[in-house]
């Protein structure tokens, strides 16, 4: 298996992105074509997108929102289940963090705490407040 990592592509194919997110359990696979068409917009609006490819198949993603200096948020770290536990997720996240090495990094997770702890993240209780979006 040869995996290619790209950090020069923000316009990920929406259908592949939607499929990947479905495979990791982030959507129910029931969206219409209009919804799928806009699925890559958050990536296009991100500071940095790193993706993992097996040939032409999108098998992993990570994206960053940052001011470039002080603070950065790591988002949408996802690896297709058929490719998990091979180091792809760690590579995606490490490439993101290496691009902004001086920043404080934040991530929100419920299912992958151990994954992020291995990357140096520690719990930061009590400071996370939330205002819901249109989407969730």
Q: How many angstroms separate the Cα of 101 from the Cα of each of 95, 96, 106, 117?
A: 10, 9, 13, 17
Residue 102 CB, nearest distance to ligand COA (Å)?
Answer: 23
As given in the structure block, the two tokens for residue 93 are: 């996240």
Pick the piece of the chain touching ligand COA (CB under 6 A) from 3-11, 35-43, 63-71, 107-115: 107-115
If binding is defined by CB under 6 A, does position 82 make contact with ligand COA?
no
**106/77 Cα distance (integer angstroms):** 13
**43/75 Cα distance (integer angstroms):** 10
73, 86, 99, 103: which one binds ligand COA (CB under 6 A): 86
What is the separation of C-alpha 63 from the centre of its chain, rounded to a whole number of angstroms?
5
If binding is defined by CB under 6 A, does position 9 make contact with ligand COA?
no
79, 96, 100, 105: which one binds ligand COA (CB under 6 A): 79
**63/46 Cα distance (integer angstroms):** 7
If binding is defined by CB under 6 A, does position 20 make contact with ligand COA?
no
* Interaction site with ligand COA (CB under 6 A): 24, 77-79, 84-90, 109, 111-112, 114-115, 118
């Amino acid at each position: 298996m040869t995996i290619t990592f790209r950090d020069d592509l923000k316009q990920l194919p929406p259908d592949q992105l939607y499929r990947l997110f479905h495979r990791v359990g982030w959507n129910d696979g029931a969206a219409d074509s209009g919804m799928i068409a806009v699925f890559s917009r958050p990536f296009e609006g991100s500071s940095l997108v790193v993706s993992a490819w097996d040939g032409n198949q999108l098998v992993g993603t990570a994206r960053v929102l940052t001011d470039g200096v002080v603070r950065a948020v790591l988002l949408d770290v996802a690896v297709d289940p058929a490719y998990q536990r091979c180091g792809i997720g760690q590579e995606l996240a490490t490439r993101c963090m290496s691009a902004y090495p001086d920043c404080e990094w934040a991530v929100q997770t419920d299912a992958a705490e151990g994954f992020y702890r291995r990357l140096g993240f520690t719990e930061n209780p009590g400071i996370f407040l939330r205002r819901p979006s249109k989407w969730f």
